[in-house]
Amino acid sequence: MIELTKSLATIQTNMKAKKSSYNSFGKYYFRKSEDILEAIKPFLLEHKVYVTVSEQIVATDPVPTMLSTATISNGTDAIHATALVGVDLNQKGMQTAQQFGAASTYGKKYALGNLFLIDDTEDADAGNKHGTVDKLKAKAAVAKVAITADQMKKAVEYLKAGGDITAINKKYKLTTLQENELVKSTVKSQIKLNGQRDDITKA
């Protein structure tokens, strides 16, 4: 186990997973599970380890809940990290398979992130170049405005793509009804719903 722990620590320290996707609503870049997997691959043969991601349904009420487990192993010992995600069966415009696929993608991404110590907290200002502290204070001081119907649609898409509802709350004045609608869109918590299920069994 000591050797595997050393290998994992080395990978955690040296691995750089790029953020290849851009969210136009939040104006920031974010990473997908594919980005993490691509970053891991160069280390596998060097350290004689392999990585797998598995998942299972651990609850069905009140919503189906999936447990994703990312594992690194040298064939003898193994270290695991997990992530839980609920499946939103009420998501409009998606078939059941897509709803489960979206939850699966999200769970795998964060299980891998937990294993390799990747902080994937999404910040609406991430990737932006900031000026002075005064400029940041001035930006924060801008009064919030009521969100329009068109902006509401974009906000929902932003959340589907991996955005944070906090960023929307900071920018717009929301009614309780609007906030509840947006909360429903965060069940999958910040993933890009492309309807594709990455079938990850081994990096």
- Is pLDDT above 90 for 46? yes
Distance, CA of 105 to CA of 123 (rounded, Å): 20
Tokens representing 17 are 């997973």
- Total length of the chain: 203
Nearest to 187 by CA among 123, 108, 107: 107
Alpha carbons within 13 A on the beta-carbon side of 69: 12
Per-residue pLDDT at 144: 63
Share of the chain above pLDDT 90, in %: 36
Model pLDDT for residues 110-135, shown as the tens digit of each residue: 999 999 998 765 444 444 444 444 44
Q: Which residues pair with 82 in a beta bridge?
A: 69
Distance, CA of 41 to CA of 49 (rounded, Å): 10
Cβ pair 157, 93 in contact under 8 A? no
Distance, CA of 172 to CA of 117 (rounded, Å): 32
Pairing status of strand 21-23 against strand 28-30: antiparallel
Of residues 135 and 79, which shows the higher confidence score?
A: 79
Buried b (16+ CB within 10 A) or exposed e, 21-39: bebebbebebbbbbbbbeb
- Give the C-alpha distances (Å, rounded to integers) separating 50 from 99, 130, 147, 166: 29, 40, 47, 37
Query: Phi then psi for 51, rounded to 5 degrees?
Result: -125, 135
Per-residue pLDDT at 127: 44
pTM over 0.95: no
Distance, CA of 79 to CA of 9 (rounded, Å): 11
In the chain, the amino acid numbered 72 is I
- Is pLDDT above 60 for 201? no
Rg (alpha carbons) of the chain, rounded to whole number: 19
CA 11 and chain centroid, separation: 20
Tokens representing 162 are 């991996």
Nearest to 101 by CA among 64, 74, 76, 128: 64
Share of the chain above pLDDT 70, in %: 75
Model pLDDT for residues 129-187, shown as the tens digit of each residue: 444 444 444 444 445 677 888 888 888 777 777 666 777 777 777 777 777 777 776 55
